[in-house]
Each structure stands twice: as structure tokens, then as C-alpha cells.
Amino acid sequence: MESLEFIKREHIGFLFLNSPKTKNALKSEDMASIRDILDKEAKSDIYALIISGRGDVFCSGADFSEIISIIGKNKKDQELQSNDMSKLCDAIQNFPLPTVCALNGSAYGGGVEIACACDFRISVSNIEIMVPPAKIGIHYHPTGIKRFLNIFGASATRRLLLTAKKMSEKELKNVGFFDEIITEGENVIERAQDFIAQCKELSPEAVRGMKLSINDIVMDSVNIQSFNSRIKTTLESQYLERQLKFMKQKNTQ
């Protein structure tokens, strides 16, 4: 699909939103395609996923031409707690590998939520964000609000949603939105790749398990059986066996 580009390099997946003329607005079919990619790559040989955009804007959210029809469908079916964007962001957040949002530019609406659904955010400088549902006249979906609260805190979330005001790089930095901001001359994709490279050397079972457990905790969906299963998986892993053998040999030297 021309509006999306997915490539693999050095066991990292790179997903690019590729509609710069529309500020990388996502149609429902785009969001479904991204979910399909995530389902497939969760079982592949990559150890991390980087999401970025082409052009000067990372993502402007859902395609506005579809928003009206989505609202109409939700009214008719009374399915007010979910839409294509929330399903996409759920899929990104629940992806069992570390995810980095490489912000190539500003983000708006659902584009902000996509960034919040990722584990890390590496950004170019001088970006801004805005979440405009109050301007349109709609209530943002609950899981999206929860994602904003987890990243921004209550005060900044209120500002984003209740005033629909833009937040500048300085304000975003103050609330801890960024993990890193690149300097002039750096490439945000290369920096994101360097940032996540250490994960390749870690236990894949431990990283996957703790990624999902962190998500469960921050989204208030803790399941003790799932926690115990993830712990058991790490205890039975070949990685742990190798590490224990290495430490034993080192202590006997």
C-alpha cells in the first residue's frame, strides 16, 4: 500500500506513514493494514519496531473525511468506546516488542495517541502537538484518555482535551513526553535505531514479558495468571540458562 511502508533492517521493523500530502492522515483501511502488520511481525525475527512518518508532519490523526461516517456509525450502533484509531493504538501498545515513535515532525489528534501508545519517543526539534476533539464536538474515547494520562499526567491532559490548545516542544519536554530530542544534523530514524539497539543483547523473553506487564499495570488491566506465565517463561528460557552458566564459570575462575 502506497500510504504505508514497512521494511526490516538489522532485525528492526520500520513502519513509515507515507502520505505526506495529507500530513500522514490515516484512513480506516490504513489502520487495519497497520494492525495486520503488527500481528504478523509479533511472531517474526525482529526485536523492536520503529514508527515514523514521511514529510514534515508525523501524523495528523484519522482522515477527516471518514470521521463523520465513523461518528455516525457509533451513534447508530452505540459503540462509543471504540473506533479504528483506538483499536490501532491498542494494537501498538499491546505489541509484544519495544516500540519507538520517531517523530519526524508535529503530531495532531490520533497522531498524538499513536506516539503515546509507543514505549519511547525520539523527536526532531521544534515540534508541536494538538488534540482537537472538543473543536469538532466529540468526546475522546476512554482508552485514549488513559494513554494521555499515563504520558502527560492529569494537568497536561486536561489542557490538551479541554482547551484544544497546542503544546510546544518546551512544554512537552517539561511533562516528560520525549525520551530524546535530536540535535540539528542528526537523523531521527538513525537515532531511534541506536536508542533501541541495546534490546538486541537482552533476554527476548524478559523484554517481551515486562513490556506486556508494564502495559497491564499502566492500563489497570493486571492479570496475575498472565504475570506468572511470563515469569515462568523467563525462568525456562535458554537465555537465562546461558547467563547462569556464564556466571557460574566466572565465579569458579
Residues 87 and 209 in one domain: no
70: confidence class by pLDDT, cuts 50, 70, 90:
low
Q: Which residue(s) pair with 17 in the sheet? A: 4, 53
Q: Are 101 and 135 in contact (CB under 8 A)?
A: no
Residue-wise pLDDT for 203-232, tens only, equals 999 999 999 999 999 999 989 999 999 999
Buried (b) or exposed (e) across 64-94, using 16+ Cβ within 10 A?
Answer: eebbeebeeebeeeeeeeebbbbbbbbbbbb
Supply the mean pLDDT for the chain.
Answer: 92
Angstrom distance (rounded) from CA 73 to CA 89: 20
Does the pLDDT value for residue 68 go beyond 70?
Answer: no
CATH number for 131: 3.90.226.10
Angstrom distance (rounded) from CA 129 to CA 114: 12
Angstrom distance (rounded) from CA 223 to CA 226: 5
Does the pLDDT value for residue 56 go beyond 60?
Answer: yes
The residue type of 197 is A
Does the pLDDT value for residue 1 go beyond 60?
Answer: no
State the CB neighbour count (10 A cutoff) for residue 220: 7
Does the pLDDT value for residue 120 go beyond 90?
Answer: yes
138: confidence class by pLDDT, cuts 50, 70, 90:
confident
Domain count for the chain, please give it.
2
Q: Give the H or E element holding residue 64.
A: helix 64-77
- In whole angstroms, what separates CA 75 from the centre of its chain? 28
Residues 234 and 146 in one domain: no
Residue-wise pLDDT for 153-193, tens only, equals 999 999 999 999 999 999 999 999 999 999 989 999 999 99
Range of the domain at 227: 203-252
How distant, in Å, are the alpha carbons of 51, 112, 159 from that of 129?
Answer: 17, 7, 12
What percent of the chain clears pLDDT 90, i.e. is strictly above it? Answer: 81
Residues 75 and 196 in one domain: yes
| Per-residue pLDDT, 137 | 86
Residues 160 and 131 in one domain: yes
Does the pLDDT value for residue 82 go beyond 60?
Answer: no
pTM: 0.92
Residue among 233, 251, 252, 230 nearest 241 (CA): 233
- In whole angstroms, what separates CA 57 from the centre of its chain? 16
67: confidence class by pLDDT, cuts 50, 70, 90:
low
Does the pLDDT value for residue 75 go beyond 60?
Answer: no
Residues 125 and 142 in one domain: yes
| Per-residue pLDDT, 80 | 47
Residues 43 and 148 in one domain: yes
246: confidence class by pLDDT, cuts 50, 70, 90:
confident
The residue type of 169 is E
Specify the 3-state DSSP secondary structure of 62.
strand
Which of 168, 184, 200 finishes a domain?
A: 200
Residues 117 and 222 in one domain: no
149: confidence class by pLDDT, cuts 50, 70, 90:
very high
| Per-residue pLDDT, 251 | 79
Angstrom distance (rounded) from CA 109 to CA 132: 6
Longest dimension (CA), the chain: 72
Residue-wise pLDDT for 3-33, tens only, equals 999 999 999 999 999 999 999 999 999 999 9
